[in-house]
Amino acid sequence: MKLWDAFLPSVLPYCPGCPDLVAEDEIRNAAEEFLAETNAWRIWTDPVDTVAGQKEYTLVVPEHARVLKLLAAVLNGEPISVDLTSPADRDAHFKLSMPEFGVVQFGASVPGDDLPLTVNVSLSLKTSATGLVSIGSIYYLLPRLFGKAEMFSTKLVTVHFWVATIGTVLYIASMWIAGVMQGLMWRAVNADGTLAYSFVESVKGSYPFWAIRWLGGVLFLSGMLIMAYNMFKTMAGGKVQDMPVVAPVGHHA
């Protein structure tokens, strides 16, 4: 796929003054919606060798892509039925379904080893976090709507960025570590095969990480409060401006 900035010369003439970062984000969102609605991006995955008795197989898809829909499948050179409508009947038929994005599952055990399985799927783009992009868009548009050259305080904008970024990092890192820790505790066993930790113990062990996650949320919320104050001061005394509409460059026939 093209890099998103390659589309900017075709898009920016229709939205003069729009920051490149905002335009690229909207182009990405439009591409994702188009692919989800049309199934235009379809591929046959590379063959995966089956294992007798194994029902689930993970698909290998291009980087930055996510699986939307399972369309067809071939096992050992023969087409197999794809179950799209009745998951309750999986165990009664030798069909292939997709219980999760990127993971396919047989209803019955695979009959043998090393049978090549290839699957036709429709793809879309991986959804990316756009919170800070949306915030940046507001910082750009708001002063222009009220006849100002910039926000009331650009220093507060910088403070908001770093407070929100630190809060997001704390949130993600703490939840990731807590999840790995709980998983390891649930898998730990004693010499006699009994569980080394109870569920309650794994929950108690997560308390410190939940406190860090709370701190991250407080920081992110604090950044939004800073933004609200900055917006209020920017709008105070401002006047809504009627901006001229610039004619787009190059009309389609």
Where is pLDDT greater, at 58 or 133? 58
Does 178 have pLDDT greater than 50?
yes
Segments forming the whole domain that contains residue 239: 129-253
**What's the confidence (pLDDT) of residue 148?**
82
Average pLDDT in the 221-250 region? Answer: 77
**What's the confidence (pLDDT) of residue 253?**
47
> Is 91 exposed, middle or buried, given 0-12, 13-18 or 19+ CB atoms closer than 10 A?
exposed
If asked whether residues 150 and 111 sit together in one domain, one would say no
**What's the confidence (pLDDT) of residue 246?**
56
Last residue of a domain, one of 96, 120, 144: 120
**Average pLDDT in the chain:** 80
If asked whether residues 138 and 229 sit together in one domain, one would say yes
If asked whether residues 62 and 139 sit together in one domain, one would say no
Among the listed residues 22, 17, 231, 16, the one whose alpha carbon sits nearest the alpha carbon of residue 143:
231
Pairing of strands 81-82, 95-100: parallel
If asked whether residues 136 and 114 sit together in one domain, one would say no
If asked whether residues 253 and 136 sit together in one domain, one would say yes
Three-class secondary structure assignment of 12-74: HHHCCCCCHHHHHHHHHHHHHHHHHHHCCCEEECCCEECCCCCCEEECCCCCCEEEEEEEEEE
Q: Which residues pair with 70 in a beta bridge?
A: 121
Give 148-172 pLDDT, tens digit per residue: 888 888 899 999 999 999 999 999 9
- Indicate whether this model's pTM tops 0.85: no
Give 47-102 pLDDT, tens digit per residue: 888 888 788 888 888 877 888 888 888 888 888 888 755 544 444 456 778 777 77
If asked whether residues 209 and 234 sit together in one domain, one would say yes
If asked whether residues 34 and 114 sit together in one domain, one would say no
If asked whether residues 80 and 134 sit together in one domain, one would say no
Domains in the chain, number: 3
If asked whether residues 141 and 252 sit together in one domain, one would say yes
If asked whether residues 143 and 252 sit together in one domain, one would say yes
If asked whether residues 189 and 84 sit together in one domain, one would say no
If asked whether residues 146 and 107 sit together in one domain, one would say no
